[in-house]
Amino acid sequence: MRTAILELLKHNEGHYISGEELSHTLNVSRTAVWKHIRALKQDGYEIEAHPRLGYALRQNTDRLLPDEIKAHLTSRMLGQEIHYFPEVDSTNNEAKKLAANGCPEGTIVVAESQATGRGRLARGWFSPFGKGIWFSVVLRPPFGPMDAAKCTLMAAVGVNRAINRVTGVGCGIKWPNDILWNGRKVVGILTEMSAEMDAINYVVIGMGINANMKEFPSEIAATATSLALATGQTVSRVILLAEILAELENVYTLVQQAGFESVFAAWRQESITLGRQVRVQGFQRNFSGLAVDIDADGALLIKTAQGVERVLAGDVSIRYDNQ
Amino acid sequence: MRTAILELLKHNEGHYISGEELSHTLNVSRTAVWKHIRALKQDGYEIEAHPRLGYALRQNTDRLLPDEIKAHLTSRMLGQEIHYFPEVDSTNNEAKKLAANGCPEGTIVVAESQATGRGRLARGWFSPFGKGIWFSVVLRPPFGPMDAAKCTLMAAVGVNRAINRVTGVGCGIKWPNDILWNGRKVVGILTEMSAEMDAINYVVIGMGINANMKEFPSEIAATATSLALATGQTVSRVILLAEILAELENVYTLVQQAGFESVFAAWRQESITLGRQVRVQGFQRNFSGLAVDIDADGALLIKTAQGVERVLAGDVSIRYDNQ
């Protein structure tokens, strides 16, 4: 019913429809109409109510509501099932619960804010209300757990492509899967999985996309930025999310048809790590060298005076010599 | 209170203690004593009740009760927290729930029977009441998910060593982690994990140990056996489980101190796969060859006419040419 009222309002965007007409057309009471209008307002739709003329939609919501996302969706699997939360502890946690309970592949969890948004290795992720795209997607890939690290490179390619297409900014991928603009982080990706040794049960890819924030907490002010700061414009989160889902689905389909190498080629092109001097801070030793390539496992290959070192996600943090 | 009554009965094993004495010593009512005795009987303790003489423990329980396990425990971490179930859907499922809720490393889940015991790749596992050791242990290893497949080889070494020590039968390891006696399966291991790309959250190693079954369903009658059939004797499940936990802890500690290669040496020695002609049935192709070694990832190396093929868990099932 709420969706039906919204559709009528959208169809007449900017023009009034009387409560009587809504009530008559949809065969509900005037009180019910009024309650739904109130709920739509709470969902961020700007609806003007005029005592005589009725209701008019002045501005669409800026929330990442399932109906709004679905209106822009071009992907066939990703985003067919959407779980929306104004606030959640972490979209990855919700998605893991759904996945463990058997939700279909492609299910997404979207939140306006995360109370305990998480980055890699239990680091926090700043997730203020309505300012970013905080979402997670459930995949059930036919890979083994040894392939899971490559999923994270695949995800980086998908989101980077979608961002550059929608916003026109020139973002790049910092190994393994941060998306940077002008040396500052725009997107973080946290991939988690449940697996047997033989097969993946599910993978949850969580993304924190700094869309429209204008400022950041002091701890990350020097290293983070947003697409709004990069473009000077507010970014439509709904359009960007739909595009990200489409591009993720593209790379995921390509990997299943042609293997990871097909997507690694794009990763190399969009990488801002390859060809750069990096310093590796590992568990046991530190070293510097030239990042020359990634190998078939998605490991970063670094040319040092002693030869080529192979660096796997988790082993190290990488710093750029010119940062 | 129940434990205290049991201790007094055990201390006087075979001799009667009057209800009055129990009641007086432990400062509880005669009715309470009687209720605890009844509960102990339900737990499988054979307690004789004489109207005049009182109670005597005739036979210890054959259940895998936490107190019984702890009485034999020599491991310092594994088995310090024990969750016991007469029946459970699957010990791995219970252990995964506990692990996700933050249980300490080394926590074990033990069941007398599993309603939906699982083997690898969602195959079932025959888990009749009281006949086997159906348990799972939670580890939180400091490895990456790429190392998780090696955990399963490590687990095989631990359990194989414990079985051979306790029972004296000569079991061996079929790659990657089945324990066989005389060509038939005695133990299956199902390792599952929750991980980020960078770090393992937890690993659950589940084992199904065919201890005292005398017969099997027809589907597995030709390929399964039990330790009781192998030795001609009933095996003490409590003693064997305590030994398995001790040996698992040994190999786990060794791996953390000296790396997986230190345990792979034992795996090679106890393997019944290496040096054998095997047929590999893969997703896309089948081939035969001589199993010559495992590599640093735990992959099986198979020498064929075309060269050495590398086989990872999950890619294949292996059949022996003489079976």
Q: Give the CATH number for residue B298.
A: 2.30.30.100
pLDDT at A307 over 90: yes
**Which member of B190, B196, B315 has the closest CB to residue A196?**
B190
pLDDT at A57 over 80: yes
Considering only the C-alpha atoms of chain B, give the largest distance between any 2 of them, rounded to a whole number of Å.
81
Q: Average pLDDT, whole number, for chain A?
A: 91
What is the pLDDT at residue A101?
92
Residue B254 makes CB contacts below 8 A (sequence gap 6+) with B262, B263
Residue that the structure tokens 């049935």 belong to: B281
* Least confident segment among A187-201, A301-315, B248-262: A301-315
| Phi then psi dihedrals of residue A67, to 5 deg | -65, -35
Closest residue of A to B119, CA-based?
A: A196
* Least confident segment among A169-183, B14-28, B307-321: B307-321
What is the pLDDT at residue A303?
95
Burial class of residue A43 in the structure, from the number of CB atoms within 10 Å of its CB (0-12 exposed, 13-18 middle, 19+ buried)? middle
Q: Are B39 and B84 within one domain?
A: no
Q: Give the CATH number for residue B51.
A: 1.10.10.10
What is the pLDDT at residue B181?
95
Q: Are A129 and A237 within one domain?
A: yes
Percent of chain A scored above 70 by pLDDT?
95
Q: Give the CATH number for residue A208.
A: 3.30.930.10
Closest residue by Cα to residue A200 from A144, A146, A260, A138:
A144
A190–chain B Cβ distance below 8 A for any pair: yes
Preceding peptide of B51 cis, ω within 30°: no
Categorise residue A130: left if φ over 0, alpha if ψ from -120 to 50, beta otherwise. left
Higher pLDDT: B131 or A312? It is B131
- Into how many domains does chain B fold? 3
* B242-265 average pLDDT score: 96
What is the pLDDT at residue B317?
65
Q: Are B8 and B82 within one domain?
A: no
Which domain-ending residue is among B253, B270, B287? B270
Q: Are A75 and A178 within one domain?
A: yes
Which domain-ending residue is among A231, A252, A270? A270
Q: How far apart are CA B13 and CA A170, in angstroms?
A: 80
What is the pLDDT at residue A95?
97
Query: Which residues of B are less than 8 Å from A195 in CB distance?
Result: 145, 148, 192-193, 195
Which domain-ending residue is among A44, A59, A74? A59
What is the pLDDT at residue B198?
73
What is the pLDDT at residue B323?
47
Give the distance from CA A79 to its chain's centroid. Answer: 12
B119 is in an annotated binding site: yes
B312–chain A Cβ distance below 8 A for any pair: yes
Q: How far apart are CA A109 and CA B267, in angstroms?
A: 43
Query: Using alpha carbons only, what angle is made at residue A316 by residues A312 and A321, rounded to the nearest 5 degrees?
Result: 115
Q: Which of A10-19, A158-167, B20-29 has the highest mean pLDDT?
A: A158-167
Q: How far apart are CA A264 and CA A294, in angstroms?
A: 8
Q: Are A221 and A298 within one domain?
A: no
For residue B238, what are the domain limits?
A: 66-270
Best mutation site among B93, B197, B205, B315 for testing chain A: the one with the most A CBs within 10 Å?
A: B197
Q: Are A144 and A177 within one domain?
A: yes
pLDDT at A147 over 50: yes
pLDDT digits (tens, 9 = 90+) for B149-161: 889 999 999 999 9
Q: How many CB pairs under 8 A join A and B?
A: 85
**Which member of B121, B145, B197 has the closest CB to residue A199?**
B121
* B87-99 average pLDDT score: 95
pLDDT at B178 over 80: yes
Q: For helices B237-258 and B261-270, what crossing angle results, to 10°? A: 130
Three-class secondary structure assignment of chain A: CHHHHHHHHHHCCCCCECHHHHHHHHCCCHHHHHHHHHHHHHCCCEEEEECCCEEEEEECCCCCCHHHHHHHCCCCCCCCCEEEEEEECCHHHHHHHHHHCCCCCCCEEEEEEECCCECHHHCECCCCCCCCEEEEEEECCCCCHHHHHHHHHHHHHHHHHHHHHHHCCCCEEECCCEEEECCEEEEEEEEEEEEECCCEEEEEEEEEECCCCCCCCCCCCCCECCHHHHHCCCCCHHHHHHHHHHHHHHHHHHHHHHCCHHHHHHHHHHECCCCCEEEEEECCCEEEEEEEEECCCCCEEEEECCEEEEECCCCEEEEECCC
Residue B170 makes CB contacts below 8 A (sequence gap 6+) with B164, B181
**Which member of A121, A145, A201 has the closest CB to residue B199?**
A121
- The radius of gyration computed from the CA coordinates of chain A, to the nearest angstrom, equals 22
Closest residue of A to B177, CA-based?
A: A197
Q: Are A45 and A95 within one domain?
A: no
Q: Are B175 and B37 within one domain?
A: no
Q: What is the dihedral of CA B295, B297, B298, B303, to 10 degrees?
A: -40
Query: Which residues of B are less than 8 Å from A312 in CB distance?
Result: 144, 146
Higher pLDDT: B168 or A321? It is B168
Sign of CA dihedral A77, A82, A88, A93: negative
Do B192 and A194 make contact, defined as CB atoms within 8 angstroms?
Answer: yes
B172, B187 in Cβ contact below 8 A? no
* Least confident segment among A79-93, B120-134, B256-270: B120-134
Q: Are A17 and A44 within one domain?
A: yes
Structure tokens at B175: 């790659």
* A174-195 average pLDDT score: 92
Sequence letter at residue B120: R
* B114-135 average pLDDT score: 83
Q: Are A78 and A162 within one domain?
A: yes
Q: Are B128 and B158 within one domain?
A: yes
Structure tokens at A291: 């990042």
Q: How far apart are CA A103 and CA A78, in angstroms?
A: 12
Q: Average pLDDT, whole number, for chain B?
A: 91
Q: Are B95 and B238 within one domain?
A: yes
B148–chain A Cβ distance below 8 A for any pair: yes
B283 band by pLDDT with thresholds 50, 70 and 90 = low
Q: How far apart are CA B284 and CA B306, in angstroms?
A: 17
